[in-house]
Structure 1
C-alpha cells in the first residue's frame, strides 16, 4: 500500500470514528487465561440498527457490557457517543437506554412504580402512563413485578430502557418470552425508534428478528468478527438461489452436489439440507427424482434465497454450546 493510500485510509477512518455512534477498535478482553473477545473491531452509525449475533460464549455479552460501561477493555478502543463508557460514565448514562437480558426489576414494586422510579433519574423523561400503554402494560400497571409473566417483564424492561428518551439503546434479547402479538409491538417500537434517529444495538438469537429489524448484521464467534454486512448481502442478495429441504439426516451431500443443476450442497443441521443453484426449476426436477429413486421421504421443501439462519449455522457450526 502506497503512502498516499495509507494516508487516505487513515483520514477516512478518522472521519468514520468521529461520526460513529459506537466505535469498537481492536478490542480484547480476557478472564484469566481465557480470551473472550479477540481484537474485535466494528462501527455503528447514528440512527443505525445493528444486530450483534453469535452462539453462546462468542463474546457478545462481554462486548455489550463493555460498551455499557460495566467492564473495562484489556486492549483497544471503545467509544459510545464519542465518550469512554467507563471514564465518562456520568456524562454517558443519561444518553443511553439499556434493556438487560436479566430484567433485575424490583419484585415488590408495581410496574408503574418501577417505571416512575427510573423516570425520576432523567431530566425530561417520557410520560409514564403513555409509555406503559405503548408497551401494552396499561392493564398490568398496578401488578407487582413478581406477579408479571416473563413476557410482561420483558416489556417493562423495554419501557425502562426508553423512559429517558435515549439517543442510543442496547436491546439484549428484547422479545424473549413474548407472545407473537407482543413481539410485533416490540418490533414496531424498534422501527419507530429508528425513524426518530435513535441508534440501536440489538442482540438476539432469533434470526428472523435480526433480518427484519437490522440495517446491518455482525456475526462474532470465539471473540472475533467473522461476518458483517446487510442481511441481504450476507444471504447472497438476488444471485444466490437455494433449495432447502428436510429429510432423514445423514444423506450423502456429495451426491446431492453432483446433481447437474447443483452448485453446492450441505447439511446445515441434522436432517436439514441446502443446495445452491442457478437454475431452480431444473434442480427441483433433479432433486425430487433423485429422492424418489432413492426411496428417501421428503417432509419439507422450500425455494428461495439463503436465510440468515443458514449462514449463521454454516459460519458458527450447529453444535449446542453452554
Structure 2
C-alpha cells in the first residue's frame, strides 16, 4: 500500500507541480505527518523532491524529472485517459488507439497477473450498446478524418476551420478558436470561441474540418468542467421553459430522456417524485408529458396545465361519441 502511495505522490507532483503537504494529504487520504514521512522516504531513495517555504510554498520535483510509461504513443495514451470518461473514445475517434493501448497494458503486466486481469475484464461491461429495454444507444456519427482534424487543433492549440450545419440553416464555413472537447450521453461537442464570442458546436454537424497553422486565441490553461457548466447555464437561460412535475418513479427515466436538463429532484409524500425539469419550449413540454399519460402531472406553469387539460378534454370528447362500424 505504501509503495502505491509513493508512486501516486510522485505522479501528483509531476502532473500538478508544487503542492502543499495539506493538499497532498487530502488527495492521498492520509495525514499530513504521513505525507512528510513519504517525502523523506522519496528523498532518501533519490527522487529529486524539494521543499519551498513561504506563503506559496510546498513540495515539488526538480524540473525535467520524469517517470516513463514506455510503449504507448500519443493517441494511445490519450485514449486510455479518455476511456475514464465513458464512451468518449468512440465519440472522439480514439477507439482503435484505445484497443491498441489496452493490448500493450496487458502485455506489460507480469505473467502472474495477466490471466487474472484478462478474466476480470471479461466480467465487467461498461456502457453496452443496448439497455434492459433493448433500446440501442444513439452515438453521433462523425467522419474519422473530420474528428482527427478537430482533435489535433484542440490539442495543438491551433485555429480550426469547420464546415458546420447548424439546425435549420445551410452549412457554412467558419474559423474558430478551439478550447476543448466534451462528450455527454455519447454526443460530442467542440467548445470554442468565434471572434471572441463563446460557441458550442455539435461534432456530428461538422461536415468537414481543417486545422490551420496559426495559434488559437485562448488561455494557456482551462478548467473545462467549469466552462461546460457555464455554457450549460447559458443554454438553459435562452428561451427554455422550466416545468415542475410529479412523476411515477417507474417512468422517471422516460421523462429525463425527453427533458433538456434536470434542475432539482426530491421524493413526494405519496412515493412519487417531484422534479424541476427544463424543456426546449411549451410545445416540447406538452408533448413529453402527454406521452406519460396518468404517470405524470405538471404542477407549473399554469399555462402548461391548461393546455394539457384542454387536450385531454378534446380527446375525451372525441372518444365519448358513438361510431358506427363499417359494414
How does the TM-score come out when normalised to structure 2? 0.21
Q: Which one has the largest radius of gyration?
A: 2
Higher helix share: 2
Higher relative contact order (CA 8 A, sep 6+): 1
